[in-house]
Amino acid sequence: MAPIALLSVSDKRGLVPLAEALHHRFGYQLLSSGGTAKVLQDVGLPVTKVADHTGAPEILGGRVKTLHPRIHGGILARRGDAAHEADLVAQKIDPIDVVVVNLYPFRETVADLAVSWDKAIENIDIGGPTMVRSAAKNHEHVAVLTDPDQYDRVLAALEASGGVLSPSVRRQLALEAFAHTAAYDAAITRWMQARPELDLEPETSDAALPWLEALPLRQQLRYGENPHQKAGWFSAETSGWGGAVQLQGKELSTNNLLDLEAALATVREFGYGSGGLHPARRPAAVVVKHTNPCGVAIGDGTAIALTRALDADRVSAFGGIVALNGCVDAAAAKELTSLFLECVVAPSFAPEAREILSTKGNLRLLELAPEAIDVAGRDQVRSILGGVLVQDLDDELVTPDDWTVATDRAPTATERDDLCFAWQLVRHVRSNAIVVARDGQSLGVGAGQMNRVGSARIALEAAGDRAQGAVLASDGFFPFDDTVRLAAENGITAVIHPGGSKRDDDSIRACNELGVAMLLTGRRHFLH
């Protein structure tokens, strides 16, 4: 009896060459259903339809096609097991040796933010995952293919082994099949958790379900943060950085991606692009080094914002990562060629900008649409030994109306604007974090020091004489009055911090003594 291959795929890339090879080169009978059977019939291949094989028609509008003992018995039966073989004979079931199945395009369907609940649910595959799991479980006897990228590899293995796949190949295919269905189920779960139709209390949702994520490997990276560390980039295809288009430049590295993430998070404080959920409110530019912003500015146009961001600290900007929240035009492109940079990310690049930047062949340009950001979700995930920590992104909009004046002198309108700008930046700086800013431009950034006054010294030293009349922001409260005194000595006129220290009064008294205005936000922004 000829071996049987069951083919039922949504993604029909490579289907015909695979079926032709299975039938003509290796002697397989072809069993198929629905649209897959029609494609094979249209090219003249002999196909038995599932409904004819089972004697049961498709029902419920196609919802039930392959859920039948003649299908699953044929897949799950152990060859050489007397009881199983007796059942096959008694039920007139033929063994199925190869299962080629990929699933309804659920992830592609829900990538549309406007998709209805009913449409998304209808794109949840039932029969497909059941066949995949059955075949993967019985991999001792059955080969299962779930991705067109596997076809050539499997055909080559069949050719090399005389038409019979080795146990090691079938085990590898089974592993990939279980990963395929796990990722599919995780995508469904994550989508449902985020939908308002569930109307669950947050506590109920968080307590009832494990955190799930299963992402395909997008790219094997050359190495991790250091050359001796292996690394891979796992990402959804259309959301977040998975939706970015690299227009030119060298392959992205681990450090590039970490810095790009930090730069994008910072520039999004001012909105991003012309579409999506949070369009740009004002042109902004961010320069990042080692995940910390070293230059941030707003301006009347992308090029002006970029120049001001670079001018904030051109020494640190060398070799940096740039994020812009608007289209890169020719003027901005010329500024980008003025120094060595690793990467630039923006919503779009004008054709003339692309031409100018093409002279920097190694410079990585990434075009990231606002819509790809919108569908990426709000979980921030970090690994710890044996597990992960999951928290909401710290990306809620700044709410100046909730701030309180702690000092005798209230900030002027100009100081308040500067304090708001500095507060938007400081939550993107590694703790302990201090930012000195003025007129919509960062002037000095102190990051990652073990004491707050140490970060203040770094930020004020970077600002130099520009600190005169500037403001200072701190991601956490001032534990002592030393930071505000140091700030005043360097010309700072107003400060902003969460408050909440037992010694808040010491810092407030020092500010009153020195004529420095202070705002309390009531919200901390640690970043580790």
Q: Give the DSSP per-residue string, 379-446.
A: EEEEEETTEEEEEE-S-PPP-GGG-EE-SSSPPPHHHHHHHHHHHHHHTTSPSS-EEEEETTEEEEEE
Strand partners, 273: none
Q: Is 290 a catalytic residue?
A: yes
CA diameter of the chain: 96
Please state, as a whole number, how many other Cβ atoms lie within 10 Å of the Cβ of residue 211. Answer: 15
**Closest Cα partner for 303 from 321, 280, 285?**
285
Please identify which of the residues 84, 137, 334, 360 carries the catalytic annotation. Answer: 137
Q: Is 180 a catalytic residue?
A: no
CA distances for 323 relative to 208, 268, 377, 433, angstroms: 38, 9, 20, 20
- Residues 53 and 290: their CA atoms lie apart, in Å, by 61
- Residues 257 and 292: their CA atoms lie apart, in Å, by 13
DSSP percent split of the chain into helix, strand, coil, nearest 5 = 45, 20, 40
CA distances for 415 relative to 26, 174, 294, 370, 522, angstroms: 78, 63, 21, 31, 19
Helix (H) or strand (E) holding 320: strand 320-324
Query: Within its chain, how far is the Cα of 498 from the centroid?
Result: 30
At a CB cut-off of 8 Å and minimum separation 6, what does 83 contact?
none
Q: What angle do CA 306, 462, 413 make, to 5 degrees?
A: 65
CA distances for 324 relative to 47, 257, 336, 368, angstroms: 55, 16, 11, 10
- Residues 432 and 175: their CA atoms lie apart, in Å, by 44
Nearest-10 Cα torsion for 436, 441, 444, 447: 80
Amino acid identity of residue 69, one-letter, is P
**Closest Cα partner for 166 from 191, 140, 192, 147?**
140
CA distances for 178 relative to 112, 129, 135, angstroms: 26, 9, 10
SS3 351: helix
CB 477 within 8 A of CB 508: no
- Residues 78 and 95: their CA atoms lie apart, in Å, by 9
Please identify which of the residues 12, 84, 250, 290 carries the catalytic annotation. Answer: 290
Q: Which residues are catalytic?
A: 137, 290
